[in-house]
Amino acid sequence: MEVKDYSFGRIEIDGKEFCYDIVIDEYSNELRKWIREESHNVFPEDLIEVKNRKPNIVIIGTGNSGQMNVSEKAKDFIKSLDAKLIIEKTPNAIEKYNKEKGKKIGLFHLTC
């Protein structure tokens, strides 16, 4: 799957437009709404689906201006899976998502 376009609050993936935070799961070829316990914070509980997929790369987009916080526990959780972790503002994270090769999961916050 490839992200074709992104602007504040909106993302286009393979010709479909979404207006909510999203998980790009290449394992099941699915796009899902990314729901977190706290809107602007990421905790290990928000990443359980990542554990089940065992990706080589996890890319997290923290919002247009990077206001979403990824907790240290969440970072440690991903690292414990031996996955490369990339955390960037969403525009940069999308760019890296499109370039990275391998088993990957993208989790993108679309606003803030």
User: Does 1.20.58.60 match the CATH number of domain 20-109?
Assistant: no
The residues of the chain scoring below 70 in pLDDT are none
Q: In the chain, where are the structural domains located?
A: 20-109
- For residue 28, what pLDDT is reported? 80
Strand segments (E) across 8-83: 10-13, 16-18, 22-25, 30-33, 41-42, 57-62, 69-70
- For residue 56, what pLDDT is reported? 92
- For residue 52, what pLDDT is reported? 83
- Tell me the one-letter amino acid at 43: F
- For residue 51, what pLDDT is reported? 84
- For residue 106, what pLDDT is reported? 97
- For residue 20, what pLDDT is reported? 97
- For residue 61, what pLDDT is reported? 98
